Structure 1
Amino acid sequence: MEKNSELDQATLRLVVSACAWLYIVVLEGLDGGGNARYIPIIIYISTFFVVSIFLRMIIKRWPGHFFWRRLFTMLHDYAGIAFAMVLGGEGALPIYAALLWVTLGNGMRFGSRYLALATAIALLTLVLIFWLNAFWRTQPYMFLMLIVTTIVVPAYAHILLKRTRIASEEAITANQEKSRFLAQASHDLRQPIHSIGLFTACLRDAKLGLEELRLVDNIDRSLHTVSQLFRSILDIYTLDHGKLVPQADTVHLGALLQDVVKQNTEAARWAGVELRLRPCPYWVAVNPGLLTTMVQNVLSNALKYAPGQPVLIGVRRQASRLAVVIYDKGRGIASEHLAHVFDEFYRVRHVRDKDVEGLGLGLSIVKRISQLLDVDIHIRSRVGQGTRVTIGGLEPATPKTPNTPRAAPLHERLNGLRVCLVEDDANVLMATSALLEKWGCQVESHSDGEGLTSDCDIIIADFDLGTKISGSECIAAIREQRGWEVPALVITGHEIERIRQSLHNLNISVMAKPVRPPELRGVLLELVKLMDRQDGSPIRP
């Protein structure tokens, strides 16, 4: 939320006027003459305070940049200062501090133009005070000092503001350059990782010997590690720059956890870990992608630091909320480390930890996402007994469908499926096409989506197809040509949340590269079910 500087200034005005009122009251009490010379000032400041309250209410009700309102508040402030200093004489000299506050406050909060305007009004106020009060006319040198101070201090503040603005602009420019570089590097790096993963899946399905399968397994394992590290770095960058705006959806919690377990089946096998998932009938209102990332990162830690031990995943009730609990029987974490496990790049060092991959970013990402989703994250651990991580505070929701997880369609339902594949990267196009054909699909491969026609059942397109047409535009053109909303999937190497927001009204599924083959197959099966509901025709044999 953007900070309301004018409201802050209005709040501080009340504080300063209250201090000024208290000071004048003390002066009146100390005045031995009994002529009540400060009573008019006390009355004026009291009135000033009431008016300032109404001004603050107006600013809060109608925030924004209104020049005439800001000018009125400055005149309001300087009028009060002038009244006090004219009637108060030498006893009201400390009120000059309020004049400096008004001048600097407007400049520092609203910029150099307001600083110059406030300085000009402040000098006119001092001239008026000098003209109306005999005491100040008898102290010309003291008054000259006030004039000089009123010029020099704002002038120095202007220099600081200018330097700060230049530094800020340079930082923003550098940050934008870094963002553009990371976005381009992210897209370019995702492509080869994505294609290697698909080629590896094709090799796994080929008729290979045991030695060759072992090599493929090692390639897949190394690729999985690179993919996890890559995603962690991008997640940290995205969270640090506030680009994620979570949008809640009604999600079957059991199905979400089941998907995470399926995606980690190979990694669990490599670690010798048995993943145990307790059935869960609950639905929750949450952003599914961010919650999946949280569970994925916690589970990845369990696979790294509890090899050869079972990992249990379940859901518990916490009063009116729900909590996902992940428990492992690994080495555990000593109490002196627990306070730091959510810090970036912090890793609990043990013997032979050089063999454990990772940057120490996983739990830091989990903590940041928990703050974004307004959920709780707690870790309890005992050395030698294991670790329990609880993601709590999940809000239950009304089910979209009957309260049972959906059964996954059979793999054979992809046989004969006509897929229009549009991808401008030759390696990714080749790898995706080969994998889809391994699954029994009939693939139409295209490197350019412009002017494309197809009688396909499902469209898979890269989002960025060059300068002429985007993946979403290609999908829209095919749908218009076919006369019905052909199920479609966009696979992107760009920031997935931004792409999702741009496509949320088009009924297009979105996946981020690099895509794991099991994830791709799962989405395809969901699109097959969608196609069956839309046209009622069976899958072609």
Structure 2
Amino acid sequence: MPISSKVGHDTERSQAIIRLVIPSLVILYIAILYFTSPTAAEWIVPVLSYIMAFLVVSLVLFIAIVRQPGVYPLRRLFGMLHDYSGITFTLIIGGKVLLPVYAILLWVTVGNGLRFGSRYLAVATGLALLTLGIVTGLTPYWREQPYVVITLVITTIIVPAYVHVLLKQTRRASEAAIAANLAKSRFLAQASHDLRQPIHSISLFTACLRDADLGAKERQMVDNIDKSLHSVSQLFRSILDIYTLDSGKVVPRLEVTPVRELLASLVQQNAEAARWAGVEVRVRPTRCCVRCDPVLLTTMLQNILSNTFKYAPGKPVLIGCRSRDGALAIEIYDQGKGIAPEHLTKVFDEFYRGQQVRDKDIEGVGLGLSIVKRLGELMSLDVRIGSRPGRGTVAIIQGLELASAQEVRPSTGHSMPVHLLRGLHVTLIEDDRNVLVATASLLEKWGCIVQTETSMPMRKVDCDLIVTDFDLNTEVSGADCIEHLRRLHGRKIPAVVITGHDVKHVQELLGNKEIPVLSKPIRPSELRSVLTALRLDMAPQASA
């Protein structure tokens, strides 16, 4: 049975391509010999005939590799035998004239080791020595040059042996690097999850305080807490984005998206941050639709917009769209101090911050634009930054594929007044008691009737909607709780999952795209929007 492997497929295909190229180089060498050494004509015809047959077999082998990718040891062994048989025939027929073909033998031997590993290197070395033995036994010139043969044999042993040592060291270093990356990823994931919990509960408590009857001074204090929490939340989102990108879990999910709605949602989500920074965000309307991953594109725009709040406070920001080469470009202009030329080429590097005078108090760790660049590469988008010191900066995301508005899926995310959540029976499941109390308090402020649980509910209660954490630190997950409550009530109860882990990974574990997954620390407005949208969906079902 073949072992499926993209890496194995790529290396084997590369080897097959080289197998087609090398004979062409040999033919060129033979052509040069033909015109410079007339005595070589006697062996040219049989060598050329063999080379043509070799090319035919190599082409068949290449087609087989392309059509059936994977690691097939027998096919690899056949390819190696094919290579060395061709080299053996060429060296025997060509004699001393084709002695330089030995370089190809050494190249093929080392290449098999570098591409397929030490085991294949050992087999290739054995076949190379066998080739030298056969050629020496059948070629008078080689028998007359014992020191040349000994030199070639020693070279054939020493070079692969040295390559084996290098491969072993490289493998150890690679394993150590992989282990370190896994440890870093696990640490970031766990630290992000554990630290998000208290931040999440604080943000919910402050949302409750906003609705309380507070004086101006107390309201300003709540506003300052919100501002600080927003900064920490942005930092954690950046760290989690880097973690998910490094782990290779981010896969774009393209859909047709109206740019007007995406930008309007972006501005709405950043209204508070813009107010704190004293920035007026202006958007030039557009009717264009693009085919993209709206979540990833929003993250890109979010990070760029956050930079404008940091580096251009108190100045207006303009978001516009422009048609470029048959595609759409989204451009964000600010009127800040700009970026010096020596910093402009490094702004996409991780943890790089081009600090200027009095920039030391600007928050962040320099991950935002790095994330923008990497997400752009995932969606085949070009991201550019232009700046004029003292005049401002423009960030351009270009290459967005234009699409027809008729392809847009109808959205259920209509806005609803808060009072329409009144009377909604919510079963809230959360193992962290601080988060449980904070979330329940907020839901009750909105008029919901909340039944709180710290683990899977075992009794049947009135339930219109389920809000649950995914990781409950027990043998059951939020997904298990949703399934259990739906089975207990005998109907498909709408549900929302809140998690401190990677959202896309949790969505895959849920296996149900109809269940919204929200990331901690969640904005109260985001939670309210999702709940009201689900309440809107309940109305037609209730009346049916």
Q: TM-score normalized by structure 1?
A: 0.92
* Range that drifts further, 143-152 or 435-444: 143-152
1:80 maps onto 2:60 in alignment: no
Partner of 1:469: 476
Alignment equivalent of 1:362, drawn from 360, 365, 368 = 368
Partner of 1:288: 294
Alignment equivalent of 1:213, drawn from 186, 206, 219 = 219
1:188 maps onto 2:194 in alignment: yes
- CA separation of 1:32 and 1:255: change in aligned 2, threshold 3 A: closer
Q: Deviations over 1:150-174 (max 9, x none)?
A: 2222222222222222222222222
Q: Deviations over 1:459-495 (max 9, x none)?
A: 1100101232110111111122222221111000111
**What's the CA shift for 1:334?**
4.3
Residue identity matched to 1:197: S
Alignment equivalent of 1:494, drawn from 468, 490, 501 = 501
Q: Deviations over 1:202-256 (max 9, x none)?
A: 1121112221111111111111111111211221232233220111133333232
- CA separation of 1:413 and 1:320: change in aligned 2, threshold 3 A: farther
Partner of 2:248: 242
Kept in 2, the 8 Å contact 1:281–1:404? The answer is: no
Kept in 1, the 8 Å contact 2:413–2:529? The answer is: no
Partner of 1:413: 420
Aligned-residue RMSD, C-alpha: 2.4
**What's the CA shift for 1:399?**
4.2
Partner of 1:96: 102
* Range that drifts further, 300-309 or 223-232: 300-309
Q: Deviations over 1:379-432 (max 9, x none)?
A: 344344433333333332434679999751111111121111101111111111
1:458 maps onto 2:451 in alignment: no
Count of residues in correspondence between the two structures: 537
- CA separation of 1:63 and 1:292: change in aligned 2, threshold 3 A: same
3-state SS of the aligned residue for 1:461? strand
- CA separation of 1:111 and 1:35: change in aligned 2, threshold 3 A: closer
3-state SS of the aligned residue for 1:456? coil
Kept in 1, the 8 Å contact 2:412–2:533? The answer is: no
Alignment equivalent of 2:229, drawn from 223, 234, 249 = 223
Counterparts of 2:523 and 2:338, CA distance in 1: 30
**What's the CA shift for 1:282?**
4.0
Partner of 1:427: 434
Counterparts of 1:119 and 1:26, CA distance in 2: 30
Counterparts of 2:179 and 2:196, CA distance in 1: 25
1:53 maps onto 2:53 in alignment: no
1:33-432 equivalences under 5 Å are 33=39, 36-318=42-324, 320-395=326-401, 396-399=403-406, 408-432=415-439
Counterparts of 1:72 and 1:490, CA distance in 2: 53
- CA separation of 1:149 and 1:275: change in aligned 2, threshold 3 A: closer
Counterparts of 2:159 and 2:170, CA distance in 1: 16
**What's the CA shift for 1:316?**
4.2
**What's the CA shift for 1:353?**
1.8
3-state SS of the aligned residue for 1:245? coil
Kept in 1, the 8 Å contact 2:386–2:394? The answer is: yes
Residue identity matched to 1:296: Q
* Range that drifts further, 18-27 or 187-196: 18-27
- Calculate percent identity across the aligned residue pairs: 55
Residue identity matched to 2:266: V
List alignment gaps of at least 5 residues for structure 2.
1-5
3-state SS of the aligned residue for 1:354? coil
Q: Deviations over 1:25-59 (max 9, x none)?
A: 33343335476244322332233233323322222
Kept in 2, the 8 Å contact 1:491–1:513? The answer is: yes
Residue identity matched to 2:531: L
Q: TM-score normalized by structure 2?
A: 0.92
Counterparts of 1:99 and 1:55, CA distance in 2: 19
Counterparts of 1:168 and 1:348, CA distance in 2: 32
**What's the CA shift for 1:268?**
1.5
Residue identity matched to 1:300: S
List alignment gaps of at least 5 residues for structure 1.
none
1:530 maps onto 2:498 in alignment: no
